[in-house]
Amino acid sequence: MKTIQFREAVCEAMSEEMRRDESIYLMGEEVAEYNGAYKASKGMLDEFGPKRVIDTPISELGFAGIATGSAMNGNRPIVEFMTFNFSLVGIDQIINNAAKIRQMSGGQFNCPIVFRGPTASAGQLAATHSQAFESWYANCPGLKVIVPSNPADAKGLLKSAIRDDDPVIFMESEQMYGDKGEVPEGEYLIPIGVADIKREGKDVTIVSFGKIIKEAYKAADELAKEGIECEIIDLRTVRPMDHKAILDSVKKTNRLVILEEAWPFGNVATEITYQVQNQAFDYLDAPIEKINTADTPAPYSPALLAEWLPNSNDVIKAVKKVLYK
């Protein structure tokens, strides 16, 4: 094992795959000369050259379309959005072409492409740069959606995403790029669609993913001081979702809290709630609690932002509610 930053894990995954397969290339705003907006492609231009690490104009619709056509013709592009907020400019290519071409062509074309970049809040970036898009893209058949929470998962899942023959949405966070963690040495992949139990417990299941899961860890540490054992499941992949891991845990703990950095209406937590109530209702000893952001655009003020985002105190309150209601 070695300890590296999240951005280094992303860079290693892309670089290792590009050494393995010459059909893989990276394109996006500032990925080449500037080494990436968040330095996640540092050194890649020097190693692979400008034909495989390509700086694009500020035109997400254009380069998302170029990459989609390229993938249909035998290449395996990685597209970096400086933030997934900017992907809305190119969403027509992602939803109407990349996600649908296998079905619409009767299987004659596949689209092995990775769209990656940051999602959700990154601090004081205000309403139009602080949105979580996991549930948006997971709603579309044909797309796989991955949201890792640590460097090891990021590297193993990104390598799997690059090798996948279908389009994958790979979501990161500006606030995680500097996070450090242990990553296995050598070649390793993590299968898409498999959740991970990050902490064993018997009293309540907490399901989360991405950077907001850190608040679950903080809450679990505090609750442990009171003798409450939380089981924390990191989804890692939002679609396909590992329903079995969630259901097995709920059948053990009989209580469920879902923590997600997204608006309350029609999100990933809503889907999990339906699946659990539909398949494990008789195991529940309390109503499911879901924790989301406030149902407003993200504020700019740091004081308001702290109130808008879920935090460990919210998790503690939700856990105690399902335990003692």
C-alpha to C-alpha distance for 39 and 174, rounded to whole angstroms: 11
AA identity, residue 249: S
Beta pairing partners, 115 = 79, 169
AA identity, residue 169: I
The catalytic position among 8, 12, 29, 129 is 129
| Known active-site residue 129 | yes
AA identity, residue 178: G
Question: Helix count (H) and strand count (E) of the chain?
Answer: 12, 14
Residue among 284, 203, 269, 201 at smallest CA distance from 235: 269
Residue among 52, 65, 51 at smallest CA distance from 20: 52
Residue 120: both structure tokens together? 């959700």
Give the number of other CB atoms < 10 A from CB of residue 53. 26
Tokens 């997204």 locate to: 262
User: Could you check whether the bond before residue 240 is cis, i.e. omega within 30 degrees of 0?
Assistant: yes
C-alpha to C-alpha distance for 72 and 282, rounded to whole angstroms: 47
SS3 state at 153: helix
| Known active-site residue 172 | no
Whole-angstrom Cα Rg for the chain: 20
The catalytic position among 60, 215, 260, 289 is 60
Distance of CA 130 to the CA centre of its chain: 14
Backbone angles phi, psi at 269, to 5 degrees: -60, -35
The set of catalytic residues is 60, 129
